[in-house]
């Protein structure tokens, strides 16, 4: 399949996914009394818990820890929630796949787009919080959308891949959840690399999430631009992984109905 053919094939899937995401967000906002507010209140509650635990109980020594933590938790939570929301996105559509010819890629992409909208609101709140606690905005903040684009592709790649695996191996849910928990602690969300023994530094050096979170902190806290080579390398790896994940779904799309009917 040529690049132009692949692009033509995926665009209708993206359009359907965007529309399903819009309808899903509208439905979610009417299920609770607070509606849209929960999209912001939930990360704020998590942030408060992490700040008490790591900032006061464990007394992690990082300069300007509140800002450091806000940035790390905000962007890690986006990745974590999006991947977990993708896990059962195909598995839960058993009744649709058994009776309709539909591309399964639509389901994880719908979850990705829904979480992207929620994250946009959370990031707007993050920037407001940073201003309120004394961080001076700078032109380096304009790098945040670029870094977020790389994270979006990486998140979609991982989300699509796990969504495609679960119908064949449902027990992987537990491994995925545990792996994400480990990845959180290996991504520098709560600590700086200087806070850990040197022999464990490789956990951050070879972790794309740790690199992205570090780039966000550089842009928002330290007034530093991400290195173009590093950003392009991450983007290239994320695009390759996404291409492999979508290829995996494409090769198996006719097998999901059979796998889910067992």
- Cα dist from 28 to 52, 93, 107, 118, 235, whole Å: 30, 18, 16, 11, 31
HSE, CB side, 13 Å, CA atoms: give it for residue 31. Answer: 8
Cβ contact 159:108 at 8 Å: yes
Question: Average pLDDT, whole number, for the chain?
Answer: 84
Give the model confidence (pLDDT) of 25-77 as tens digits.
877 766 655 556 666 677 777 767 766 766 555 556 677 787 888 899 889 99
Give the model confidence (pLDDT) of 203-215 as tens digits.
788 899 999 999 9
State residue 49's pLDDT score.
73
Out of 29-33, 188-192, 210-214, 235-239, least confident range: 29-33
Which of the given ranges, 2-11, 98-107, 214-223, has the highest pLDDT on average? 214-223
Residue 6, pLDDT above cutoff 50: no
| Banded model confidence at residue 1, pLDDT cuts 50, 70, 90 | very low
| Banded model confidence at residue 256, pLDDT cuts 50, 70, 90 | confident
148 CB neighbour count, 10 Å cutoff: 19
Residue 5, pLDDT above cutoff 60: no
Give the model confidence (pLDDT) of 240-255 as tens digits.
999 999 999 988 888 8
State residue 33's pLDDT score.
57
State residue 176's pLDDT score.
95
* C-alpha to C-alpha distance for 41 and 31, rounded to whole angstroms: 15
* C-alpha to C-alpha distance for 142 and 133, rounded to whole angstroms: 20
Domain count, the chain: 1
Give the model confidence (pLDDT) of 162-178 as tens digits.
999 999 998 999 999 99
Structural domain harbouring 15: 3-260
Give the model confidence (pLDDT) of 63-81 as tens digits.
778 788 889 988 999 999 9
Cβ contact 17:106 at 8 Å: yes
State residue 3's pLDDT score.
41
* C-alpha to C-alpha distance for 32 and 29, rounded to whole angstroms: 7
Give the model confidence (pLDDT) of 120-157 as tens digits.
988 988 888 888 888 889 999 999 999 999 999 999 99
Residue 49, Cβ density class (10 Å: 0-12 exposed, 13-18 middle, ≥19 buried): exposed
């Amino acid at each position: 399949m040529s690049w132009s053919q692949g692009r033509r094939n995926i665009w209708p899937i993206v359009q359907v996914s965007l529309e399903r995401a819009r309808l899903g967000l509208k439905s979610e906002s009417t299920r609770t009394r607070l509606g849209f507010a929960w999209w912001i209140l939930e990360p704020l509650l998590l942030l408060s818990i992490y700040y008490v635990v790591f900032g006061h109980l464990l007394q992690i020594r990082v300069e300007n820890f509140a800002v450091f933590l806000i940035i790390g938790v905000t962007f890690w939570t986006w990745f974590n929630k999006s991947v977990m929301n993708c896990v059962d996105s195909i598995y839960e559509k058993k009744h649709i796949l058994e009776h309709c010819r539909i591309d399964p890629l639509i389901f994880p992409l719908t979850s990705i787009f829904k979480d992207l909208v929620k994250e946009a609101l959370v990031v707007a709140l993050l920037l407001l919080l940073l201003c309120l606690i004394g961080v001076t905005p700078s032109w380096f903040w304009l790098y945040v959308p670029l870094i977020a684009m790389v994270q979006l592709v990486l998140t979609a790649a991982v989300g699509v891949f796990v969504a495609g695996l679960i119908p064949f191996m449902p027990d992987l849910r537990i491994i995925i959840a545990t792996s994400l928990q480990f990845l959180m602690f290996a991504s520098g969300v709560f600590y700086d690399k200087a806070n850990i023994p040197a022999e464990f530094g490789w956990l951050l050096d070879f972790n794309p999430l740790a690199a992205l979170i570090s780039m966000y902190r550089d842009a928002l806290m330290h007034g530093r631009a991400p290195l173009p080579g590093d950003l392009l390398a991450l983007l290239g790896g994320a695009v390759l992984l996404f291409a492999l994940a979508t290829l995996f779904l494409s090769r198996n799309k006719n097998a999901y109905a059979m796998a889910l009917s067992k």
